[in-house]
Structure 1
Amino acid sequence: MILSLGFVSALQTTLIGVFAGYYLSGSLFDEIGQRALMVAKTVAAAPSVIEGIRQRDIEALNLLASRLAHTNEALFIVIGDHQAVRLAHPSAERIGHSMADDDGDDGRRALIDGESYVARAEGSLGDSMRGKAPVIEPDSGEIIGIVSVGYGVDQVNATIERYSIVLYSVVGLALLISILIAIVIAGRFKRAIFGLEPEEIARLFQERDATLQSVREGIIAINRDGIITTVNRTALETLGLDPHTPLAGRPILEILPESDLLSVLESGTPDFDREVWLRNRQMIVNRLPVRQGVDIIGVVASFRLRDEVDQVSRQLTRIQQYADTLRSQTHEYSNKLHTIAGLIQIEAYEDALNLIGSEVSDHQALIHLLLDAVPDPVIAGCLLGKYNRAREMGLHLHIDPESRMTDIPADMPRDQLVSVLGNLIDNALEATRQQVGEGGRIQLSMTDLGHELIFEVEDQGPGIPENARQKIFEKGVSTKKGDTHGYGLHLVSQFLNRWGGSVTVDDLPGKGCRFTLYLPKTSKGRDNH
């Protein structure tokens, strides 16, 4: 860059210098020529010159010419008659000879045409710029002679040389300043690009592009004006956009009106692991402001579908649920088997048979209820697991036999519905166990009549103060002690917001509270919410 800028500056200043020198030289020659012409006209109009030519007073004319040449700093002043024969000349031996002997110009333009003009010629006194003017008789208007005034080219060249020194000094200084400016610009530019050379920048750009395309998360970057600058292929796929859609250079709100990137751009606060909805898809998003010094120049967001994150989580959750169910059933049936074995040992056969029959009838009744009222296997499996979990905790989960949940919308995500319902039941179990202990009762009723799915979960816990009923749905807020609580009801709130549902919290007579969940079946019902 230094060489390029220096070369351009040198070329420009050289061209300017050559042009200025050429223009200066031409201007000075023109100026000297005009000066010679003006002096020649002045001398030709002098009465003493006219009278000297008329009288052919050679001595007087030479004295006059010599004095005028000295006064006007001219190289020479030559005076001739109407035939261009010299009457006055710095060299006495040339007097009486034709003026054409010096420069080949016989003065015809002045003597015949009456024209005053400038000419450059090499004469006996050297190379000079000459101004020639006719001498005209004032009374008759007759041309009676000619005056030639010359200024030596050496004089002009000396003046040009003097001005050229100044000119080329300025040009050299301008060139030096240009080179220094080029060095400063190149230095600042290099610092701005972290000291990298163009080839390194190109390589890093290719590496960055390959890295972006290889990342399994979608990545979008915007500048300080909210314009998309970077987007990778995964982002297009994750957002369900055409892979050939050009996004760079378009406003982020035009592509993702629900995006919060501009708020991060204004606040400068990073945002990690935020659950959002983009283009009707649930995402896990990380947003990070890009800074240059203290200025925020953009934001980079990485995101991926919540389903991908949940897939692993669901697998782990299912394994945990299976383990919990098996553990609770193993513990429960181990106790029942020990009891039955004891009854048989004391020969209380009838009591043993009644206990076996009661156990079988309870499970059979629950299974028949779930098969009839909740044909969806995911929800039925969740309720069966929670029933066994309650029994392990010494509690009883009672499902209203009048419950019915058969008209669940096909587009409602079953895993999220199970998560919401399971969180409400788990909270009810925990609250009841802490308040009542063993023997506590949790009531669940469900109905799909009308335009909504309604779930009611009642517990025998301590209840929830009225001033805390809105805050318990905020992330990290819980009535329980510990840092691991405060997320279940937040997930419930998020699902309801996305699905257009609602939840109410009411106190029960005595103690305990009731959570009632409303979920619209149709999109129209969701819009009304």
Structure 2
Amino acid sequence: MVLILGLIALLQTGALGLFALHYLSSSLQEQMGERALHVAKTIAAIPQIIEAVETRNSAVLQPIAQSLAEKTQARFVVIGDSNGLRLAHPNQERLGLSMSEDDDDDLSPTLVQGLAQVTRAEGSLGRSMRARAPIFDTDGNKIIGIVSVGYLLDRVETLVDRYRLTLALVILGAFGFSVLTAIWFAGHFKKAIFGLEPEQIGRLFQERDATLQSVREGIIAINAEGLITTVNHAACRMLGLPRDSTLTGTPIQHLFPDTRMLEVLTNDTPQFDQEVRVGELQFIVNRLPLHQGDRITGVVSSFRRKDELDLLSRQLTRIRQYADSLRSQAHEYSNKLHTIAGLIQIGATDEALNLIGQETRDHQALIHLLVEAVPDPILAGCLLGKYNRARELGLMLTIDPDSQMVDLPPELPREKLVSIIGNLLDNAFEATLNHGGPQQAVTLSMTDLGNDLIFEIEDRGPGISPEDQQRIFAKGTTSKSEPGHGLGLHLVSTQLQQLGGTITIEPGTPSGSRITIYIPKHPGGMHD
């Protein structure tokens, strides 16, 4: 860049300098010619000159010509008769000789046609810009002579040389300034592109494009004017756009009239994990503003279809529930096995057999209830895991035998449902254990009759005062001093709002709290 800008400046200023010198030389010569013509015409009109030419009196003309040449700063003033013979000349030896002997100029336009003319030629006194004017007689009818006034071009060359030196200094100054400007501009430009060379930028652009096209998430970026600058193949596939469509430069509102990317562009606030519906599809969207210094230059949005995330979440939830269930069962059965082994060692075989039978009956009854009342494997696995967790804590989870949860809508997100039930049961276990001690029961009843799914959980804790009921669902609200609490009920409240559900809190019988949640079955009751 430094070399290119410097050479461009040198060529430009050099070309302008040559043009200026040529124009200056031409203008000076033209002005000199006009001045010579004016002087020649003036001398030709002097009565004393006319009289002396008529009488061919060189003695009179010679001093007058020299005097006029000095006064007009002309190099020479030559006066001739009607035949072109010199009557006055700076060099007396040339008097009487023809004025046309020094060059091939034709004197006839002046002596015959009476025309005043300006010529540039090599005369006896050197290269000159000269003007010739006819001398008419006293009556002005007859051409009796000719006046030639010349200015040597040496003065023009001297003046042009003086300007040539000035222009050369200006050209060198402009070249130096261009080089310094180019160095500054190159440094600023390299800083703006993070010190990368053009080849590196091209390679990074290809890598970025390949990366964008390889990711499975849809990516759309806009500039500060809201025009699309980037869209990858995954975004085209998810949104049903042809891959060969020219979307670059299209206003984002034309594709998504309700987009919130312009909101991020205005308030400079990133948005994460937003649920958005586009037609019949739901997406999980993240939006981040792009900055260059303190200025917002655009927004990039990445998104994935919500059903893909829901599927992954359901799989993780199912695995987590199975893991919790197995862990609780392993812990519970380990305790039972140690107890049975101890009874056998002390010879209490009848008690050991009764304990084994009781354990078998309890689990068989719970499994039979879940199979009949809760055919959904995710919810059943959650309840089985929480049952074993209660046994592990020394509590009892009692499920109302009249419960039924068969009519679960397919579109209801199972991960949100088990998260709500799991958090509420964990809170009930903790409240019962801290207040009522072990061997207490937490009861759960559920029904799918009507238009809502209803879950009712009752604990044996200290209860919840009306004042606390207004704030326990706020994020960070907890009665524990340890950090990391106060999120469970806030998560329950948030997920219930997403499902369009409600929650009520009542005093339990004879103590504790009764929490009831209502979740609408129909998708119209859900909102993002």
Question: Which category of TM-score, normalised to the shorter sequence, fits these structures?
Answer: 0.7 to 0.9
Q: Deviations over 1:131-156 (max 9, x none)?
A: 11122335343322221111112222
Give 1:455-466 correspondences, 5 Å limit. 455-466=455-466
Structure 2 partner of 1:315: 319
Structure 1 partner of 2:408: 408
Q: What is the distance in 2 between the residues matched to 1:399 and 1:112?
A: 138
Structure 2 partner of 1:59: 59
More displaced stretch, 64-73 vs 407-416? 407-416
Structure 2 partner of 1:129: 129
Pair 508,386 (structure 1): closer, same or farther in 2 beyond 3 Å: same
Q: Deviations over 1:218-266 (max 9, x none)?
A: 7776666666656666777788987667776566776696667965984
Q: CA deviation at 1:330?
A: 4.1
Q: CA deviation at 1:209?
A: 5.0
More displaced stretch, 134-143 vs 77-86? 134-143
Pair 256,436 (structure 1): closer, same or farther in 2 beyond 3 Å: farther
Pair 367,319 (structure 1): closer, same or farther in 2 beyond 3 Å: closer
Q: CA deviation at 1:469?
A: 3.4
Residue pair 2:445, 2:456 contacting (<8 A) in 1 also: yes
Give 1:199-348 correspondences, 5 Å limit. 199-208=199-208, 263=264, 266=267, 275-278=273-276, 306=309, 308=312, 315-332=319-336, 335=339
TM-score by length of 1: 0.84
Q: Which amino acid aligns with 1:82?
A: S
Structure 2 partner of 1:29: 29
Q: What is the distance in 2 between the residues matched to 1:474 and 1:384?
A: 29
Structure 2 partner of 1:480: 480
SS, match of residue 472 in structure 2:
helix
Pair 66,492 (structure 1): closer, same or farther in 2 beyond 3 Å: same
Q: What is the distance in 2 between the residues matched to 1:478 and 1:213?
A: 46
Pair 468,21 (structure 1): closer, same or farther in 2 beyond 3 Å: farther
More displaced stretch, 217-226 vs 414-423? 217-226
Q: Which amino acid aligns with 2:496?
A: L
Alignment RMSD (CA, Å): 3.8
Q: CA deviation at 1:322?
A: 0.9
Q: CA deviation at 1:324?
A: 1.0
Structure 2 partner of 1:163: 163
More displaced stretch, 17-26 vs 134-143? 134-143
State whether structure 2 residue 118 is matched by structure 1 residue 118.
yes
Q: What is the distance in 1 between the residues matched to 2:363 and 2:106?
A: 141
Q: CA deviation at 1:369?
A: 3.0
SS, match of residue 485 in structure 1:
coil
Q: What is the distance in 2 between the residues matched to 1:359 and 1:294?
A: 68
Q: What is the distance in 2 between the residues matched to 1:64 and 1:494?
A: 116
Q: Which amino acid aligns with 1:326?
A: A
Q: Deviations over 1:190-220 (max 9, x none)?
A: 3333433333433444455556667787777
More displaced stretch, 512-521 vs 215-224? 215-224
TM-score by length of 2: 0.84
Structure 1 partner of 2:434: 434
Structure 1 partner of 2:184: 184
Q: What is the distance in 1 between the residues matched to 2:460 and 2:32?
A: 118
Residue pair 1:252, 1:259 contacting (<8 A) in 2 also: no
SS, match of residue 526 in structure 2:
helix
Structure 1 partner of 2:152: 152
Residue pair 1:453, 1:520 contacting (<8 A) in 2 also: yes
SS, match of residue 44 in structure 2:
helix
Residue pair 2:328, 2:392 contacting (<8 A) in 1 also: no
Residue pair 1:397, 1:442 contacting (<8 A) in 2 also: yes
Structure 1 partner of 2:4: 4
Pair 203,362 (structure 1): closer, same or farther in 2 beyond 3 Å: closer
Q: CA deviation at 1:364?
A: 4.3
Q: What is the distance in 2 between the residues matched to 1:177 and 1:465?
A: 80
Q: What is the distance in 2 between the residues matched to 1:170 and 1:260?
A: 53
Pair 181,392 (structure 1): closer, same or farther in 2 beyond 3 Å: closer
Q: CA deviation at 1:323?
A: 1.3
Q: What is the distance in 2 between the residues matched to 1:237 and 1:506?
A: 50
